[in-house]
Amino acid sequence: MRETLLTEHQRRHLQVRFSGLLAEAEDLREWAGGLSAAEHRWANDLAAQLEHLEHSLQAAAVRLGLEVDRSEPSPERHVASWASIWWASILDCRPKALRGYGVVGADLERELGPVVDEIAATLIRVGSLVRA
């Protein structure tokens, strides 16, 4: 893929996400490698899948012309990335999203909705602190 297809902001966004995922996949693969395969039958499969993920990320980065590395992100990028990831995840806890798991009563919706909205707003504020 030609580099001109990505704006500079798109490129940075992808590089940060790919680099972070690569670093965490490598860490998790190393951790899984230390598990006893006898106790955790899935450990070897997990390590193999994480290695596959690492190769896929690196190959995609090459195709997209991204500089992906395992170096630690700046503290600002680390916090912003963490807040963004968890903001997206917490939205899956909204009452409407929980309907996929069963009936959500009016009481739960009244109690949970504001809590999730407050957590999401706090995560946005956390991310904004380091972007300013």
Q: Which domain holds residue 24?
A: 3-64
Stronger pLDDT, 34 or 125, i.e. the higher one: 125
Whether residue 70 lies inside any domain: the answer is: no
DSSP string, the chain: --GGGS-HHHHHHHHHHHHHHHHHHHHHHHHHHTS-TTT-TTHHHHHHHHHHHHHHHHHHHHHHT-----SPPPHHHHHHHHHHHHHHHHHTTSHHHHGGGS---HHHHHHHHHHHHHHHHHHHHHHHHHH-
Q: Can you give the pLDDT at residue 13?
A: 82
Same domain, 47 and 10: yes
Q: Which of 13, 34, 64 represents a domain boundary (last residue)?
A: 64
Q: pLDDT tens digits, residue range 103-132?
A: 999 999 999 999 999 999 999 999 999 876
